């Protein structure tokens, strides 16, 4: 048995270049953390009363905004509302595909008022905003690919909302069941690396254990070559990433994922958003994409 020299052999082999990746210019919606705070707990990451350094939160958020701009993307800003400390997590306010926005209906009363603020703002951008009948938290639980939308359920967004979104946006929604409360939104359990709208096929990274058995099977069927993330990186919010198809903006702390992305031909762009982690969110949570 010659088992021990396998690793040395792998390490000595020259690294194969990953597949060619192509960036596409995006438009993002973001909301400054002017009123960010942790005054209630609606996910296991939140500790009400924890010290929040607002200046630090604002500086980190501005770095994220300027990172997008320096990559050539457009950022639209939604004005923050007093009394809505979670509004910085702009991804939750709607699901925008082309000229239509499927509005949010938040699960927890603490966030109810955010939905109307998003709807009004999206209307000023010229979008057709549809008020939802069912509980859904926008891009927190809906991730858009070229051919389908992945929908999370189990903690926040309902299955009825998946059906509603599919009808309104005229795209199939694949429902995925989340089972670990630490990964209460789809966008903390799964990250879209390539939406499949360009030349390359859709590509995702995810944490299998965050999903029910049947949803793990759905994901394995749909994305047999997906990047599987470690628990440590997922707990560092590594999957809460934003990709333009080539450059992947992700939390600095997700080190293995960062290395794995390079091996797949992506360019990782680490950003530290640690102050906002106190609210249970990171990069993707702060970023609503207006999908073309």
Q: How far is the CB of 15 from ligand ARG (least distance, A)?
A: 33
Q: How far is the CB of 156 from ligand ARG (least distance, A)?
A: 7
Question: For this structure, is 185 an active site residue?
Answer: yes
Burial of 2 (0-12, 13-18, 19+ CB in 10 A): exposed
SS3 state at 49:
coil
Short-list 278, 285, 235, CA closest to 46: 278
188 binds ligand ARG (CB under 6 A): yes
Q: Phi/psi at 173 (nearest 5 deg)?
A: -115, 125
Q: Phi/psi at 102 (nearest 5 deg)?
A: -90, 110
152 binds ligand ARG (CB under 6 A): no
185 binds ligand ARG (CB under 6 A): yes
Find the catalytic residue in 185, 229, 286, 291. Answer: 185
Question: For this structure, is 229 an active site residue?
Answer: no
Partner residues linked to 40 by β-bridges: none
Q: Which stretch binds ligand ARG (CB under 6 A): 76-84, 147-155, 182-190, 266-274?
A: 182-190
Measured CA to CA, the distance from residue 251 to residue 289 in angstroms comes to 18
Q: Is 252 left (phi over 0), alpha (psi -120 to 50) or beta?
A: alpha
Find the catalytic residue in 31, 285, 286, 291. Answer: 285
Are 246 and 266 contacting, i.e. CB atoms less than 8 angstroms apart?
yes
Q: How far is the CB of 99 from ligand ARG (least distance, A)?
A: 23
Residues 60-89 that bind ligand ARG (CB under 6 A): 86, 89
Q: Which stretch binds ligand ARG (CB under 6 A): 59-67, 164-172, 242-250, 276-284?
A: 276-284
Binding mask 4-43 for ligand ARG (x = CB under 6 A): --------------------------------------xx
92 binds ligand ARG (CB under 6 A): yes
**Beta strand extents in the chain (DSSP E only):** 27-30, 74-77, 94-97, 100-103, 128-130, 142-144, 149-153, 173-177, 190-194, 203-206, 227-228, 242-243, 247-251, 267-271, 288-291
191 binds ligand ARG (CB under 6 A): no
140 binds ligand ARG (CB under 6 A): yes
Footprint on this chain of ligand ARG (rule: CB under 6 A): 42-43, 46, 86, 89, 91-92, 111, 140, 185, 187-188, 279-281, 285
- Residues classed as catalytic: 185, 285
């Amino acid at each position: 048995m010659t088992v021990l020299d396998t690793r040395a052999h792998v390490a000595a082999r020259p690294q194969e270049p990953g597949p060619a990746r192509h960036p596409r210019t995006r438009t993002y919606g973001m909301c400054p953390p002017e009123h960010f705070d942790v005054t209630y707990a609606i996910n296991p990451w939140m500790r009400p009363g924890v010290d929040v350094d607002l200046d630090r939160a604002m500086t980190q958020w501005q770095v994220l905004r300027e990172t997008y701009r320096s990559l050539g993307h457009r950022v639209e800003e939604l004005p923050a509302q007093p009394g809505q400390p979670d509004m910085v997590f702009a991804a939750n306010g709607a699901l925008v595909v082309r000229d239509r926005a499927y509005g949010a209906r938040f699960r927890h009363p603490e966030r109810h008022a955010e939905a109307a603020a998003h709807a009004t703002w999206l209307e000023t951008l010229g979008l057709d905003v549809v008020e939802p009948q069912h509980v859904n938290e926008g891009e927190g639980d809906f991730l858009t690919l070229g051919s389908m939308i992945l929908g999370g359920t189990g903690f926040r967004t309902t299955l009825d909302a998946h059906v509603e979104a599919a009808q309104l946006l005229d795209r199939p929604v694949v429902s995925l069941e989340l089972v670990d409360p630490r990964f209460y939104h789809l966008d903390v359990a799964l990250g879209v690396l390539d939406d499949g709208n360009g030349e390359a096929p859709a590509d995702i990274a995810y944490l299998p254990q965050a999903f029910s058995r049947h949803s793990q099977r759905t994901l394995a069927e749909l994305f047999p070559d997906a990047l599987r993330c470690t628990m440590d990186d997922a707990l560092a919010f590594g999957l809460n990433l934003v990709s333009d198809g080539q450059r992947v903006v992700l939390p600095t702390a997700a080190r293995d994922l960062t290395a794995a992305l390079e091996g797949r031909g992506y360019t990782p762009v680490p950003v530290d958003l640690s102050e906002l982690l106190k609210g249970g969110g990171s990069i993707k949570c702060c970023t609503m994409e207006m999908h073309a």
